[in-house]
Each structure stands twice: as C-alpha cells, then as structure tokens.
C-alpha cells in the first residue's frame, strides 16, 4: 500500500512540475511563440508592417524620478544627446515628492519640461509622492509607494498626482509606478481614468514572475493586461547605475537585438540622478549610436500607444479579381494609421492592386511594386 501511494505521489509531483513548466513557458515565451498580438500581419499575398512606413522595430528612452527640485541642466544634458540621434524621451515626473515638494507651473524645472515637451518629448506621471510615509513590515524599499494600498487610496493618489501635473500645464497620458509597485488594481484605476498606457518592469498575471529578469526581457510588444483597454509597456532594463564599461554596453546591445529581431518595442529606462554622470551619459550616447544604425522608429510612448491601439485591431482580407489584387481593410476603432505600409509578396499573380474599406470604398489603387503606403 505504501509503495502504491509513493508511486502515486511521484506521478502527481511530476504532473504538477510539468504543468507548472508548461504554464511558465507560455508566459515566458508568449510573444516568441505567438508573435505580435495583432489581428492581421501577413498572408500569401501581403504583409502589413507593424509600424509606420517600413520601420522594423521601435525604441523609446524613458527616465524616472524628476521632481520639483531637479536641476534643469540634468534634463537638458539628456535631451541634448537624445536630440542628436532623433530619439524622443519620456520623462516620468513625481508630482508631490515625499508630500513636501509639489510641482507647479512657475518652477524652473517645469519651464524646462514644457520646453522639451514642445520639442517633441513627453511628460508622464510617476506616482504621487514616491514614498511610503510610515514603516511597514513587508516593505524594505521605501520608494514602493503603491505597495499594499487598497484600490481607493491608489485611485486618490493617482488622481491627485495627475491633477497636479495638469495644473502645471502638462498633458498626461502615461503612468509608471514608483519602484514598479503597481498591481492589478493600479491598472484598473489607470484604465478607468483613461490613461493610454502604463510602463512597468515586470507586471503580468503570474505573481511569481514579477521580478524575473528573463521573463521581463522576453516581452517584445505592448499588451493589454487582464483584457483592459490600457496598454502596458515592459521596460528592458536600467544599466546606467554603474561606471561605463563594455559589459553594460554589450548587455544593452544584446537586449535591443533580441527585441529588434522580433520587431518589438525596446524600452530603455533610467533615473535622473544616475544618468547624470559622465560615465552614464557616455553609455547613453554609445548605446543610441549603435541602436540608431538599425531601421527603428523613435516615438514617444503616447505616439506608439495611439498607433498600436489602431494597428492591433486592423483586419485585412485579400482576393484576386482578374489581374488585380483586392485588399480589404477594416479597423476596429477610429484611431488613424498614418503611413500604413503594405508590402507585396514576390511572385503574386497580379499586376495591379486596389485597397478598399469594409464598405467597398476605394482607399488607394495602382500598379504593384514592392509596397504601398497610405493613411487610413
């Protein structure tokens, strides 16, 4: 009898192990297995590019922890490098740091942030206070502002922070939780408040994977957590905390190449203080110099969110009509897709193309070449 139960225990243990492994692999390699989460990518006749024009991937640079007393020169050092490579930055602002330093429209840092916003960079929200005001047994990192907070308190803080930044003159579409302390309640609140996106390091349904670096690095595309409308962007690492060395540069290159190979969105992130050293600024410059040798789109997170929300719901059908390839496009929302590019497969049995909408109205037509670009 003992032998029987021992065997059964072994089989049950093996079943649990392999079930856990299969479950983990699906989440670890979801994007690798299933590809980009869009309704249509390609068929036997055409491929519709994931990004505007013929860009193969996207890259976004983000920086955290800017607040009322941040020296404007520290922001301008970064934008000077970004502008040289045509890269747009997303600057995450703490609205009311430690409940003492409240951003307002007359601050020196606010004037510089408005200036860079007018030049194409983006301002986004980074919690409210970025601080846990009282000691909690579970919390070691006192920057983890949202940890263990109930839904109502999280909502109160997010609303207050957004209001502060709006009163200072900024349009806020995105949110990153301090020290990546977001949870599912955070996302529901952001969705309810009509934020376009969240941007955290490892937020995903399985709680045991939140801090797993390998998992974070395997997410290539924005996704809708828990079927919410809001998009979540996974950050691919902060390697700007140490002295410049070739190991960090090689890690950035390696992570970027993984994302680029899958036509994904590469999100670099750092913090305003550690990036402002000669070593870290040099690492940023060398990283962007390398990344920009590739065919990458360089949007803000708002720009890519608006594009992706339209692109993911785009559905296409193709059919031959004599010597004409008819391409039927249908969108799932009213967002625009400017510079949408359709690539034609080689050897298709057609001389002309006609792109129509779901009602049959002609969007564009002409002779078949390598590709066609249109606004839809």
- DSSP assignment string, 57-79: EEEEEEEEEE-TT--HHHHHHHH
Q: Is residue 183 part of a domain?
A: yes
Q: Which residues, other chains included, contact 232 with Cβ-Cβ below 8 Å and sequence gap of 6+? A: 187, 197, 198, 199, 200, 203, 222, 223, 224, 225
Residue 305 CB neighbours (<10 A): 22
Q: Is residue 9 part of a domain?
A: no
Angstrom CA distances, 191 to 187, 195, 311, stand at 6, 6, 19
Angstrom CA distances, 304 to 32, 163, 230, stand at 21, 24, 13
Q: Is residue 10 part of a domain?
A: no
Q: Left, alpha or beta for 15 (phi > 0: left; psi -120 to 50: alpha)? A: alpha
Task: Identify whether residues 289 and 324 lie together within a single domain.
Answer: no
The neighbouring-strand residues paired with 175 are 125, 198
User: Of 245, 261, 294, which closes a domain?
Assistant: 294
Q: Is residue 355 part of a domain?
A: yes
Domain assignment of residue 174, given as a range: 57-294
- Specify the CATH number for the domain of residue 230: 3.20.20.370
Considering only CA atoms, which of 25, 27, 35, 34 is closest in space to residue 261?
A: 35
The neighbouring-strand residues paired with 93 are 66, 125
Please list the pLDDT of the chain residue by residue as tens digits (376 residues).
555 556 666 676 666 555 555 555 556 667 878 889 999 999 999 999 999 999 999 999 999 999 999 999 999 999 999 999 999 999 999 999 999 999 999 999 999 999 999 999 999 999 999 987 655 545 555 678 888 899 999 999 999 999 999 999 999 999 999 988 888 899 999 999 999 999 975 544 444 444 455 556 678 999 998 889 999 998 887 888 765 567 889 989 999 999 999 999 999 999 999 999 999 999 999 999 999 999 999 999 999 999 999 999 999 999 999 999 999 999 999 999 999 999 999 989 999 999 999 899 999 999 999 999 999 9
46-48/340-344 β-pairing: antiparallel
Task: Identify whether residues 229 and 364 lie together within a single domain.
Answer: no
Task: Identify whether residues 258 and 113 lie together within a single domain.
Answer: yes
Q: Is residue 22 part of a domain?
A: no
Task: Identify whether residues 51 and 105 lie together within a single domain.
Answer: no
Task: Identify whether residues 122 and 186 lie together within a single domain.
Answer: yes
Task: Identify whether residues 94 and 230 lie together within a single domain.
Answer: yes
Q: Where are the alpha helices (DSSP H) in the chain?
A: 2-28, 30-34, 72-85, 108-118, 151-167, 184-192, 213-217, 246-261, 272-275, 278-291, 301-311
Task: Identify whether residues 45 and 146 lie together within a single domain.
Answer: no
User: Of 294, 323, 355, which closes a domain?
Assistant: 294
Q: Is residue 122 part of a domain?
A: yes
Task: Identify whether residues 211 and 331 lie together within a single domain.
Answer: no
Task: Identify whether residues 68 and 50 lie together within a single domain.
Answer: no
Task: Identify whether residues 264 and 117 lie together within a single domain.
Answer: yes
Task: Identify whether residues 46 and 68 lie together within a single domain.
Answer: no
What integer pLDDT is reported at residue 234 of this predicted model? 87
Q: Is residue 235 part of a domain?
A: yes
Task: Identify whether residues 45 and 79 lie together within a single domain.
Answer: no
- Separation CA 218–CA 301 (nearest Å): 19
Number of domains in the chain: 2
Q: Is residue 15 part of a domain?
A: no
User: Of 253, 269, 294, which closes a domain?
Assistant: 294
């Amino acid at each position: 009898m003992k032998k029987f139960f021992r065997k059964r225990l072994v089989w049950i243990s093996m079943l649990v192990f392999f079930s856990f492994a299969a479950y983990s692999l699906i989440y670890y390699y979801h994007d690798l297995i299933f590809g980009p989460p869009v309704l249509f990518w390609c068929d036997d006749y055409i491929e519709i590019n994931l990004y505007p024009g013929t860009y193969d991937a996207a890259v976004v640079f983000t920086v955290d922890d800017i607040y009322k007393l941040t020296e404007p020169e520290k922001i301008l050092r970064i934008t000077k490098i970004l502008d040289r490579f045509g890269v747009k930055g997303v600057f995450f602002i703490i609205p009311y740091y430690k409940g003492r330093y409240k951003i307002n429209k007359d601050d020196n840092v606010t004037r510089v942030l408005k200036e860079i916003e007018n030049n194409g960079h983006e301002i986004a929200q980074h919690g409210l206070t970025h601080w846990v005001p009282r000691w909690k047994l579970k919390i070691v990192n006192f920057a983890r502002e949202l940890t263990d907070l109930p839904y109502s308190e999280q909502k109160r803080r997010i609303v207050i922070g957004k209001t502060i930044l709006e009163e200072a003159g900024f349009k806020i579409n995105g949110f990153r939780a301090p020290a990546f302390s977001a949870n599912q309640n955070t996302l529901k609140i952001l969705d309810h408040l009509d934020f376009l996106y969240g941007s955290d390091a490892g937020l995903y349904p399985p709680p045991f994977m939140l801090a797993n670096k390998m998992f974070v690095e395997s997410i290539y595309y924005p996704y809708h957590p828990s079927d919410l409308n809001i998009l979540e962007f996974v950050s691919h690492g902060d390697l700007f905390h140490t002295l410049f060395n070739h190991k960090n540069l090689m890690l950035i290159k390696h992570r970027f190449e993984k994302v680029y190979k899958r036509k994904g969105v590469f999100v670099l992130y750092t913090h305003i203080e550690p990036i402002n050293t000669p070593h870290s600024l040099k690492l940023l410059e060398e990283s962007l110099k390398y990344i920009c040798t590739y065919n990458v789109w360089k949007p803000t997170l708002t720009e890519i969110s608006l594009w992706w929300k339209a692109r993911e719901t785009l559905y296409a059908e193709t059919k031959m009509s004599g010597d004409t390839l008819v391409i039927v496009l249908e969108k799932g929302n009213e967002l625009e897709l400017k510079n949408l590019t359709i690539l034609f497969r080689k050897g298709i049995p057609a001389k002309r193309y006609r792109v129509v909408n779901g009602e049959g109205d002609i969007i564009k037509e002409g002779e078949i070449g390598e590709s066609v670009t249109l606004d839809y």
